[in-house]
Amino acid sequence: MDYGKLFESDISSEAVKKWRQQGKKALGVICCHVPEEIFHAAGVLPVRMRATGCVDASEAEMWMSSFSCSFAKSVLQYWLEGRYELDGIVASDGCIMASRIYDNAEYINRTRNKGQTIIQIAAPRKHTARTVPFYVNELRDLIEALEEITGEKITEEKLKASVEVYNEARELIKELYELRKEKNPVISGVEALQITLSKTNMPIEEYIDLLKAFLEDAKNRKPQDSWRARLMIIGSALDDPEYLRVIEEKGGLIVTDALCFGQMQFREPIEMRDDEDVLTSIADYYLKRVVCPRMMDVHEELHDFIIQSVREFSCDGVIYQRMQNCECWGGENILLEKKLKDVGIPQITVEREQHMANIGQLAVRAEAFIEMVEKEV
């Protein structure tokens, strides 16, 4: 089976076009705190909205504050241009900028009569006995909205089946990352990010089939053996493989990450318990998992995960890339830098913008960091 689609990072997707040509709905998803399993159960294609390749967000800048991150402005820009070819947007309040995308899109949709469905759900920032029921009610509202859009009833059985499908995808991503633990992995950091990004705009069943084909063929691929240092990359929403290409061209092989467009959205399966309904299991999972610093009660867990990953993947150092004006990752390095230093893990913090404007600076700093951490073999 040809799995070439896994390495296509374009925003415009033939899979989405074909889906909508069949009369089915495709909705954009802003932030990984919106459970895609619910869309799947409704027969709606969830398309994770990203800004890969955006170089001009001038129209969006008229709507967004100057303190908005360039990722959020670029996402709104692509929506304004119609690049996504969607029937609407479902956002969470994953961060302040995600909410601002929703605010502006809802106003523009209403005043310009775009006829799209624009929805926002609230995702609590703590996992407690009180916040889970609150989030369940938010998800029930989302279910009602999707049922109204599609005319289809979302049953307990459909939700359970959807969770099982997405859990299969999570297991395959885990297999993919296991390959990266090898001394000379058969997959680069650029390719790994391309693979996780490709899930954002195709049906999950198609993604699973393609990923299975890739994993079956992985043993036939040429190992990556020209690296000088093994690195972990963490930080703000990163959806452009070209950013990693700059680092890898300098000899820094990216072998793992803590990125919401990388493995963080896939790490553990959803556990469905007999003593609770599926929606409660979904809500519990999405609030309990460690994805980014937006959750108020997972900072230590996030730091421990990064340290554990450095050791499991034999990393020589960590690149902390921080989007200008990023609410979630903006100040986390203050807490994390000392902890990494205390356990002897080198780290460099690099500021960036979505539009790759400071790519030359990245190349210089990445090369200097690689020279500092590379080991004599």
Give how far Cα 52 sits from Cα of 8, 9, 12, 241, 333, Å: 11, 7, 10, 8, 25
**Residue of 27, 230, 187 whose CA lies nearest to 109:** 27
CATH number for region 158-373: 3.40.50.11900
Tokens coding 267: 């790490």
Task: List beta partners, residue 225.
Answer: none
Is residue 293 within 8 Å of 36, Cβ to Cβ? no
Question: Domain limits of the chain?
Answer: 4-155, 158-373
- Phi, psi torsion values for 98, nearest 5 degrees: -60, -40
Cα separation of 286 and 269, whole Å?
Answer: 11
Phi-psi region of 43 (alpha: psi -120 to 50; beta: other; left: phi over 0): left
What's the pLDDT score for residue 324? 92
Tens digit of pLDDT per residue, the chain (377 long)?
899 999 988 887 899 999 999 999 999 999 999 999 999 999 999 999 999 999 999 999 999 988 899 999 999 999 999 998 899 999 999 999 999 999 999 999 999 999 999 999 999 999 999 999 999 999 999 999 999 999 999 999 999 999 999 999 999 999 999 999 999 999 999 999 999 999 999 999 999 999 999 999 998 999 999 999 999 999 999 999 999 999 999 999 999 999 999 999 888 999 998 888 999 999 999 999 999 999 988 899 999 999 999 999 999 999 999 999 999 998 898 889 999 999 999 999 999 999 887 788 999 999 999 999 997 54
Q: Examine domains 4-155 and 158-373 and report if their fold is the same.
A: yes
Q: Residue 280 in contact with residue 132, Cβ under 8 Å? A: yes
* Cα distance between residue 76 and residue 34, in whole Å: 18
- Domain 4-155 in CATH 1.10.3720.10? The answer is no
Predicted confidence (pLDDT) per residue in 268-285, tens digit: 999 998 888 999 999 999
Q: What angle do CA 98, 102, 106 make, to 5 degrees?
A: 175
Cβ neighbours of residue 145 closer than 8 Å, sequence gap 6 or more: 117, 119
pLDDT digits (tens, 9 = 90+) for 142-162: 999 999 999 999 999 999 999
Residue 377's pLDDT is: 46
- Count the residues in the chain: 377
Please, which residues have CB within 8 angstroms of residue 93's CB and are 6 or more apart in sequence?
Answer: 99, 120, 121, 122, 123
